[in-house]
Amino acid sequence: QVHLVESGGGLVQPGGSLRLSCEASGSIFSIDDLGWYRQAPGKERELVARIASDDGPEYADSVKGRFTISGGHTRNSVYLAMNNLKPEDTAVYYCHGFGVYTDFTVFDSWGQGTQVTVSS
């Protein structure tokens, strides 16, 4: 079983910054995709940013130029630097990982989520 543990959420004023971290642990052979998704109340979960092992970072249009994803499959950890935060960024942020266990079966796992609230 793969465990994804997020940290770094909290309350911040508009224009402020936060940095989210996600650490993956377990019987991991390789991680092919690590990323961040978010879900606001009454809305569907959406992609924020992701890094795939065979591709560069991908961002939602709404966060381009403000958020930066780093880390990724080679370190079993991923980070999300969020700058110039807006009230519409308020959501629960989830870490997601897709890869292969040491027994060569596939995993597709989610973290428990961390709350980000942007409010004055």
Residue 88 phi/psi, 5° resolution?
Answer: -70, -5
- Cα separation of 24 and 52, whole Å? 15
Give the pLDDT confidence of 15-48 residue by residue, as tens digits.
999 999 999 989 888 889 999 999 999 999 999 9
Q: Is it the case that residue 72 has pLDDT exceeding 80?
A: no
End-to-end CA distance of the chain: 40
Calculate mean pLDDT across residues 69-85: 88
- What was the pLDDT predicted at 73? 62
Of 21, 29, 32, residue with least CA distance to 80: 21
Q: Is it the case that residue 56 has pLDDT exceeding 80?
A: yes
